[in-house]
Chains A and B, each alone.
Chain A
Amino acid sequence: MTHPIRHVVILGGGSAGWLTAGVIAADHATQGPDGLKVTLIESPDVATIGVGEGTWPTIRDTLRRIGVGESDFVRECDAAFKQGSQFVDWRNGAPDDRYYHPFALPGGYEEADLVTGWRQHHAQAPFDYLVCAQPWLCDANKGPKQFSTPEYAAVSNYSYHLDAAKLGVFLRKHCIEKLGVRQVSDHVTEVVAHENGDIAALRTREHGDIAGDLFIDCSGQRALLIGQHYGEPIDSQKHLLFNDRAIAVQVPYADPQAPIACQTISTAQRYGWIWDIGLQTRRGIGHVYSSTHGGEQEAEDALVRYIVGSGGREQDITRIPRITINPGYRRRAWRNNCVAVGLASGFLEPLEASSLVLVELAAAMISDQMPATRDTMDVLAERFNDTSLYRWERVVDFLKLHYVLSQREDSDFWRDHRRPETQPERLRQLMSLWRYQPPSRYDLYRIEEVFPWASYQYILYGMRFMPETRPAGQRPEPVQRAEGCFRETAELARQMHAALPGHRELIDHIRTRGLPRI
C-alpha cells in the first residue's frame, strides 16, 4: 500500500483530457527523466465539431501554467475575448430586460455599501452599469486589453470564447511536443482490475495493456471508468433545472467585419434559453430547453428566428446533431485509484460556462495534491469528492437562481421554476437572508468557490430583486462612500473606453502581430 505513484493514465482526449494532461505534466516534470509519467489514451476517431464554449478568467492562469502562449492560443483555437455574460429577457421580456454578469468585482465593494447606496439613491438605475465598467465596454464592443498589454495580462478582467475541439488539438500538440506526455491512439476494450478494486491497466486493441497508478476518466458522457466500470451513478438534477435537450448550430458572420460580442449572450425562451457565443470566424448558437415543457420543432423555430433576428442568414446555418442532456453529477468522482474529470463526472446546462472551469479546478486539485503513494490517495480522494460535491451543488444553486427570480408567465416552464419544491433548500435559505443583506463572503465562504459572492449580486440585482429596508439602522458612512465609488466607476469606464481598442481590431492585431510576452 506504499506503492509509489509514478504513472498517470488519462482516458480520453478533448479539452478535458488535454487540459488535465497539460496541468499535471507541466507541474510534475513529465518532460524530464525523473518526472511523473503521463499517458493519454484517446480514440482515433475524429473529434466532433466544436460549437463554441465559454470560459472563466481562471483559464488564463491554467494556460500559462501549461506553458502555452496566449497569441498562439488565440490564433489556433478561433478564440475571442469574453468579459462576462449578458442575460436578455429573463425577467419579464420588457425592452429594457437585459443585464450583465461581468467578471470584474463591483468597484469599491471593500470600502462601501454599494447595494444600499444603489437601492436608496439609484433604485431606477441598472446595478451592473453603476458598479462596473465592463457593461459599458461590452456595449461598445471594446476588447479587454491593448495591443501592448502583455500576454495573459488584463486591462479589463477577461476570459475567452473558444472552439473546444480546437483547444483539444492545440493542447495535444503542446503536451506531446513540449511536456513529454505520451499519446496512445487506440480503443480501450477492457478494464483490468486489481483484487482490491483498483484499476491495474486499460486493455487496448493494438497497444496491449497500459498499466498505471492513477487513472483519470475524461471519456465524456460514456464515462467508461467511473460510470461503466465502477457503476457510480449520476445524481440527476433534472427535477431542479429541467433542461434536457440542446440544438446547436454554427453561424458565420454576415460580414467579415461584423462586430464580435465581448460577452456570452443568453436569451431566455418560452421553455429554455438560447446561447450566442462569438468566436473569431463564426458564432456558436444553441437552444437549451426542457422536453417536458415543449417540443423540438418549436425550439428549432425559435432558434432560427433568433439567428435571423441577430444578423445571421438561415441558409448559412451549419447544423449539428441534437444533444440530449442528462443534467446531474456523480456524488463520488474519485473511486479507488480512478477520478473522473469533465463530462464523465457530470454535466449541467452551460448557462454560466461552468464545464471548463470545473475541469480546471479538478485538474489543479489533482495536480497540486498529487498523491505520492497509493495509501495516501484515499485521504485525497475523500477530500476531492467532498470539494467536488460542494462545487456541483453550488453550481446548481447558482444556475437555479437565474430562474427563480423570473416573473415570466408565458409558460409552465417558468412557473414551475418558481415552485418551492423545485428549489434547492440551501438556495431558499440564502434567498431569505438576501431579502435583507447582499450576498457576501459569509454566504460563499470556501477559498475557491466556482462563483464568488459578486456573481450572485449581479444576478440578483440584474433581475431587480430589491433588498428590503432593515428594521434597525446601520452606520451611514459605508452608504455615503458608495456615491464616490459610483463616480469612480463611471470615470474608469470613460478612461477604459477611450484607451481600449475594438474587440475585432484587437483579435486582428493578435492574429498578425501577436501580443508582447512582457
Chain B
Amino acid sequence: MSRNVLLNNVDHHALRIDTRRAPGLGDEVMSVLTFPGEFRQLQAHYPIVFRKDAMGAFHPLALLGLREHENLFLGEAGWDVPYLPLAIERKPFLIGSNDGEPMVHIDLDSPRIVDGGAGEPVFKEFGGNTEYLERVSSVLRALHEGLQQNAGFAELLLSLELLEPFALDVALRDGTKIRLDGFYGINEERLRALDGPTLERLSRSGALEAIHMVIASGMHFRDLIERLERRHAAGRH
C-alpha cells in the first residue's frame, strides 16, 4: 500500500524519481486533497467538492474522476491541463511527523522510485539536496501549510450553513450509469441570503473568494463527464 519513511541522504542517496506524467506511476486517483489557497488555480480545470471523513470532519477535494481510481486528466499523452494539483506534484514525497516535527518523508512503495539509472536524483553526489528536491520541498511546505486552513474554513462554512450534500446521477451515452454520492457543495441560496456584515467578514478573510472559486469550479462536472465519454468511445475504461 504505502511505506512512508523519513527521507535521509544516507539510505536514500541513490534514489532516482520518475517524474513523468504517465499512467502506472500511482496517479490513478479519483480525487486529491486541496485547500482554499489552491482553489484559484484549481477552479480553472477541476470541480472542487467537499467530503466528510470518518471522524465527521470536512475536507475540500479536487475531483479528477467520477469513480474510484479513475483519473480523467491523465493519459498516454500525459497530464492534459496546465495546472497540476500540489497533492499530485509532491508524489512520492509527503510530510510526516518525526518526533512531532514535520519532516519530508518518502513512500518507498511508490512506483515512481527507480533505484539508480534513469530518473531525477534526489540528492547530490556529496549528500546535498538537488534542485529537484528543493522544489518538491517547497511544494510540500505549501501543501502542508495550506491544509492547516481547512479546519477553520470548514467550520466557517458549517456555521453559516453554506455546505449542503449533493448527489450526481450520470448516464453515459453507452448506457453506463454512475452515481456520485457523499459529497458536499456550496448552498448558493444561503450564500445569497447572507447579510452585509457577514459578507464583509467573509470578504476580508479571503473566504468569500474561496467560496466563489468552489462555485465556479462546478462547471467542470460537465467536463469530467465529457472526458469519460471520450474514453469510453476510444474503447478504454
A515 on the B face (CB < 8 A) = yes
Among B26-34, B55-63, B101-109, B117-125, which stretch is in contact with chain A? B55-63
B54 CB-CB contact with A under 8 Å: yes
A451 near B: Cβ within 8 Å? no
CB pair A148 B164 closer than 8 Å: no
A148, A509, A515, A517: the one contacting B53 at CB < 8 Å is A148
Total A-B residue contacts, Cβ distance less than 8 Å = 28
Given A148-B54, A516-B158, list of 19 further CB < 8 A pairs? A147-B54, A147-B55, A148-B52, A148-B53, A148-B55, A148-B56, A149-B56, A513-B55, A513-B56, A513-B57, A516-B56, A516-B57, A516-B58, A517-B158, A517-B161, A518-B158, A518-B164, A518-B165, A518-B184
- Which residues of chain A come closer than 8 Å to B58, judged between CB atoms? 516
Residues on A with C-beta less than 8 A from B158 are 516-518
Q: Is A146 an interface residue (CB 8 A)?
A: yes
Does any Cβ of A come within 8 Å of B163's Cβ?
yes
Chain A positions within 8 Å of B161 at CB level = 517
Task: Give the residues in chain A near B53, CB-CB below 8 Å.
Answer: 148
Q: Which residues of B contact A147 (CB under 8 A)?
A: 54-56
Q: Which of B56, B57, B165, B184 has the most CB of A within 10 A?
A: B56
Identify which of A149, A514, A517 gathers the most chain B CB atoms within 10 Å of its CB.
Answer: A517
Interface size on A, residues (CB 8 A): 11
Chain B's nearest CB lies how many Å from the CB of A286?
35
Find the residue from A148, A509, A515, A518 having the highest chain B CB count within 10 A: A518
| Residues 413-442 of A at the B interface (beta carbon under 8 Å) | none
Assembly CA distance A149 to B164 (angstroms): 14
Q: Which residue, of A148, A149, A513, has the highest number of chain B Cβ atoms within 10 A? A: A148
Question: Which residue of chain B is the closest to A146 with respect to CB atoms?
Answer: B54
Interface string of A475-518 (1 = CB under 8 A from B): 00000000000000000000000000000000001000111111
Query: Which residues from A are CB-within-8-Å of B54?
Result: 146-148
Chain A residue contacts of B184, Cβ below 8 A = 518
Most central of B55, B163, B184 by chain A CB within 10 Å:
B55
17 CB < 8 A contacts A-B:
A146-B54, A147-B56, A148-B53, A148-B56, A149-B56, A509-B55, A513-B56, A514-B56, A516-B57, A516-B58, A517-B158, A517-B161, A518-B158, A518-B163, A518-B164, A518-B165, A518-B184
Chain A proximity mask over B143-176: 1 for CB below 8 Å, otherwise 0: 0000000000000001001011100000000000
Q: How far is the CA of A283 from the CA of B164 in the complex (A)?
A: 39
The A-contacting residues of B in range 56-85, CB under 8 angstroms, are 56-58
In order of increasing CB-CB distance, the 8 nearest A-B pairs are A516-B56, A148-B56, A517-B158, A147-B56, A147-B55, A148-B52, A148-B54, A515-B56
A147–B53 Cα distance when bound, in Å, is 9
Residues of B within 8 A of A (CB): 52-58, 158, 161, 163-165, 184
Looking at B52, B163, B165, which has the most chain A CB atoms within 10 Å of its CB? Answer: B52
> Per-residue 0/1 for A37-57: is the Cβ within 8 Å of any B Cβ (1 yes, 0 no)?
000000000000000000000
What is the CB-to-nearest-CB distance from B202 to chain A, in angstroms, rounded to a whole number?
A: 18
How many Å from the CB of B34 to the closest CB on chain A? 20
* Chain B positions within 8 Å of A148 at CB level: 52-56
CB closest chain-B residue, reference A516: B56
Report the Cα distance A502→B25, complex, angstroms: 40
List A140-171 residues whose CB lies under 8 Å from chain B: 146-149
A104-141 interface with B by 8 A CB criterion: none
Query: Cβ of B164: which chain A residues have Cβ within 8 Å of it?
Result: 518
CB contacts (< 8 Å) of A149 on chain B: these are 56
Chain B residue numbers with a CB within 8 Å of A515 are 56
The residues of A that contact B55 with a CB separation of less than 8 Å are: 147-148, 509, 513
Give the distance to chain B from A155, nearest Cβ to Cβ, in Å. Answer: 13
CA distance A147 to B54 in the complex (A): 6
Closest residue to A151 on the B side, CB-wise? B56
User: Nearest chain-A residue to B53 (Cβ)?
Assistant: A148
Of all chain A residues, the one with the shortest Cβ separation from B159 is: A517
Q: How far, in whole Å, are A187 and B27 apart by their CA atoms in the complex? A: 72
Q: Which residues of B have CB within 8 Å of A513?
A: 55-57
Closest beta carbon of chain A to B116's beta carbon, Å: 45
A117 to chain B, nearest CB (A): 35
Docked complex Cα distance between A514 and B57 (Å): 10
> Considering the chains assembled together, what is the distance between the CA atoms of A514 and B52 in angstroms?
14
| Minimum distance in angstroms from A67 CB to a CB of chain B | 13
Nearest CB of B to A150, in Å: 8
Give CA–CA (A517, B50) in the complex, Å. Answer: 14
Q: In angstroms, how far is the closest chain B Cβ from the Cβ of A500?
A: 12
A146 to B53, CA, bound (A): 11
| B190 CB, nearest partner CB in chain A, Å | 12
List of A residues within 8 angstroms of B165 by Cβ? 518
Chain B proximity of A459: nearest CB distance (Å): 36
**Closest beta carbon of chain B to A358's beta carbon, Å:** 33
Cβ contacts under 8 Å, B163 to chain A = 518
| Least distance between A9 CB and chain B CB atoms (Å) | 33
- Across-interface contacts of A509 in B (CB, < 8 A): 55
Complex contacts, A146 vs chain B, CB 8 Å: 54
- In angstroms, Cα B161 to Cα A267, docked, is 45
User: In angstroms, how far is the closest chain A Cβ from the Cβ of B104?
Assistant: 29
B contact residues around A514 at 8 Å (CB) = 56
Give A146 to B55 CA distance when docked, in angstroms.
Answer: 8
Q: Name the distance in Å between B171's Cβ and chain A's nearest Cβ.
A: 27
Report the bound CA distance from A146 to B54 in whole Å.
8
Q: How far is the CA of A414 from the CA of B56 in the complex (A)?
A: 49
Which residue of chain B lies nearest to A150 when distances are taken between CB atoms in the complex? Answer: B56
Of chain A, the residue at the smallest CB distance from B154 is A516
Cα distance A517–B161 when bound, in Å?
9
What distance in Å separates the Cβ of B228 from its nearest Cβ neighbour in chain A? 28
Contacts of B57 in A (CB 8 A): 513, 516
Bound state CA distance, A148 and B165, in angstroms? 13
State the CA gap A126–B4 with chains docked (Å): 51
The answer for the CA separation of A516 and B184 in the assembled complex, in Å, is 13
**Which of B57, B161, B165 has the most chain A CB within a 10 Å cutoff?**
B57
Q: Give complex CA distance A515, B57 in Å.
A: 9
Chain A residue nearest to B165 (CB atoms) is A518
Q: Give min CB distance, A282 to chain B, whole Å.
A: 27
